[in-house]
């Protein structure tokens, strides 16, 4: 497991947990066609091995009052990523952070109550962070979660 090798049973368990992370171990076992004890030990191994990192709820952002979303790209000063990453983690409106290759260095998913809140985060927080050289904002008009 620690080497990243997953078998078909592991993949089926992961698919079940992704579909419904609240279902019981018994339900997972029935759907994957293994014993409850086997399912329990597999899920524990996947969790301890870091394949499953956490269990969470998927929220509809608009229904939760986060009606404005944008992908924000950052160009950052070389060697500033580690410090910047920690600062970005502390911005509640930043829902996803990815270090990428290409025309920019970082892409963020930012969600706020409205455009005023989105503007505040981008202009007052993100652009003023040490190490951020440039930002570009792409407004999200419609979200479609495929998982």
* Confidence (pTM): 0.80
Q: Is the pLDDT of residue 128 over 70?
A: yes
Q: Give the other-Cβ count within 10 Å of 146's Cβ.
A: 3
User: 145, exposed or middle or buried, with CB in 10 Å at 0-12, 13-18, 19+?
Assistant: exposed
pLDDT exceeds 70 at position 2: no
Q: 42-84 pLDDT, tens per residue? A: 999 999 999 999 998 888 899 999 999 999 999 999 899 999 9
């Amino acid at each position: 497991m620690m080497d990243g090798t997953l078998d078909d049973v592991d993949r089926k368990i992961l698919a079940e947990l992704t579909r419904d992370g609240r279902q019981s171990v018994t339900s997972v076992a029935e759907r994957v066609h293994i014993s409850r004890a086997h399912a329990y030990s597999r899920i524990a191994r996947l969790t301890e091995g870091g394949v499953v990192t956490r269990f969470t709820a998927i929220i509809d952002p608009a229904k939760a009052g986060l009606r404005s979303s944008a992908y924000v790209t950052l160009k950052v000063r070389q060697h500033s990523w580690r410090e910047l990453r920690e600062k970005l983690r502390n911005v509640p409106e930043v829902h996803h952070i990815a270090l990428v290759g290409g025309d920019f260095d970082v892409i963020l998913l930012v969600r706020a109550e409205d455009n005023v809140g989105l503007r505040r985060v981008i202009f007052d927080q993100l652009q003023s962070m040490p190490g951020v050289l440039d930002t570009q904002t792409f407004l999200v008009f419609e979200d479609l979660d495929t998982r």
